[in-house]
Amino acid sequence: MTASSTKPLLNVLAREKTPLPPWWLMRQAGRYLPEYRAVRNRIGSFLELCLSPVLAAELTMQPVRRYGMDAAILFSDILILPYALGQALEYRDGTGPVLEALAGPGDLGRLNAVDVLSRLAPVLETVERVRGMLGPRTALIGFAGAPWTVATYMVEGGTSRDFHRVKSWAYGDPLGFARLMEMLTEATGELLAAQVAAGAEAVQLFDSWAGVLPETYFVRWVIRPTARIVAFLKDRYPRCPVIGFPRAAGVLYERYVTETGVDAVGLDPTVPLGFAVARLGGRAVLQGNLDPVLLLVGGSSLEAAVVEMRHSFAATPWIFNLGHGVLPETPVENVATLARLLAAPEPG
C-alpha cells in the first residue's frame, strides 16, 4: 500500500513514518461533548440523528473542530445494520439499545437483506457530506460492527452479561446460526464498500464482543467472517485500509492479525505494549490502547501513560487511540490535554 498523502493517518496505515503519532478516539463524538448534548436534547431520538445527514455530518465534525484529531469517524451506529435489515430497534436512555430479539433460524424470515443499501442511503449521504467538510490533513473513517458482535445484539435483544442466548444458538445449531452470519457478512461488506464509494478513506470493523468466544468459535465466528469481509473490500478497493478491533481477544489477537488480512489492529487496554510490538506490529499497524478511564482521570496518570505509549510504540507504525470508547463523564479539558501531549515533538 502506498499512501504518501497529506493525511498522516493514511500514511501510517501505509506503514510510513510520520513525525508525530496520528490520533483519533473511538466514540469521539458523543455525550462528553456539550455541543453533542445540545443537539441530542433537541432531537429526541438517537436513531433519527443517525438517519439525518445534515445533523450526523455536524456531529461527526464536532470533535475534529474542537481538538483537531487526524481522523473523523462517521457518526452512525453498528446497530443501524439490523435496523436496515428490518429488525425493530429502539435506544432507551439508561438501558441502551433494545431490539426485537431473534430466537432462532425461524425468525430469519423477519429480516430482508434486499434493499439494505437503499435504506441506509442517509448514512451514505452523511459520508459524502463529511468528505466535503474535512480539511486536507484529516481522514474520514467509515465503520460497521463485525458480524459476531452485531449478532450478539440481534439475538440477545440488547447488551448482554453472559451471552447465553447467542452462544446457545451458535454452539447448538451452527448451520442455522451460519445463515444469520452469512447474511450479516454479506451486508457488512456491502455497507463498508458503499461507505468507501461515498468517500470513506479507511474503515474499521468493531468486534466489541470478540473476546467472549473460545478459540474454536473465535475462528469460526470472528476470524472467518472478518477475513471474508476484508477480501471482499480488497477486491473492490485494494488501496482502502481496513482496521479490525477484536476487543478483549487476548492471545487470540495473534491469530486474528495473521488470518484476517486486516491492515491495522485496534488494541484494547489490556493488551501489553511489548506483546503488541513484538507479536503483532510486524503484521499490522497498531492502534490503541489507552484505558478510557485514564483519559477520564487526567493529570499525571494520563501524562505518564501517554509518555509510556509513545516510547513503547516509537519504532512501529502506530495510531494513538483509546482501548475502547470515550466515557461520557470524561472532562473536555482532559481531551485538550491529550491533544497537547500528542503534539509535543518529544514523547517526554
Binding site for ligand 1CP (CB under 6 A): 26-31, 40, 46, 73, 75-79, 91, 96-97, 143, 159, 206, 208, 325
Cα(150)–Cα(232) distance, integer angstroms: 19
Q: Around 177, how many Cα atoms within 13 Å sit in the side-chain half-sphere?
A: 21
Of the candidates 30, 120, 135, the one whose C-alpha atom is nearest the C-alpha of residue 80 is 120
Are 39 and 290 contacting, i.e. CB atoms less than 8 angstroms apart?
no
CB of 64 to ligand 1CP, least distance (A): 10
Nearer to ligand 1CP by Cβ, of 8 and 63: the residue is 63
CB 175: neighbour CB atoms within 10 A?
7
Nearer to ligand 1CP, 8 or 97 (CB): 97
> Residue 149 or residue 185: which is nearer to ligand 1CP going by CB?
149
Longest dimension (CA), the chain: 59
- Residue 324: CB minimum distance to ligand 1CP, A: 6
Q: How far is the CB of 113 from ligand 1CP (least distance, A)?
A: 21
Cβ proximity to ligand 1CP, 148 vs 218, nearer residue = 148
Q: Catalytic: which of 36, 67, 153, 256? A: 153
Taking each helix axis from N to C terminus, what angle separates 34-42 and 53-67, rounded to the nearest 10 degrees?
170
User: Closest approach of Cβ 67 to ligand 1CP, in Å?
Assistant: 12
Q: How far is the CB of 52 from ligand 1CP (least distance, A)?
A: 14
User: In the annotation, is 255 catalytic?
Assistant: no
**C-alpha cell at position 54:** 445534515
C-alpha cell at 25: 478516539
Element (H, E) at 283: none
69, 141 Cβ separation under 8 angstroms: no
Please pick, among 77, 207, 263, 268, the residue that the annotation labels catalytic.
77
CA 48 from centroid of its chain's CA atoms: 20
Active site annotation includes 42: no
Closer residue to ligand 1CP, CB minimum distance, 17 or 161 = 161
SS3 state of residue 246 = strand
Query: Is 263 annotated in the active site?
Result: no
Is residue 153 annotated as part of the catalytic site, yes or no?
Answer: yes
**Catalytic entry in 27, 119, 137, 165:** 27
Please indicate whether residue 173 is annotated as part of the active site: no
Residues serving a catalytic function are 27, 31, 40, 77, 153
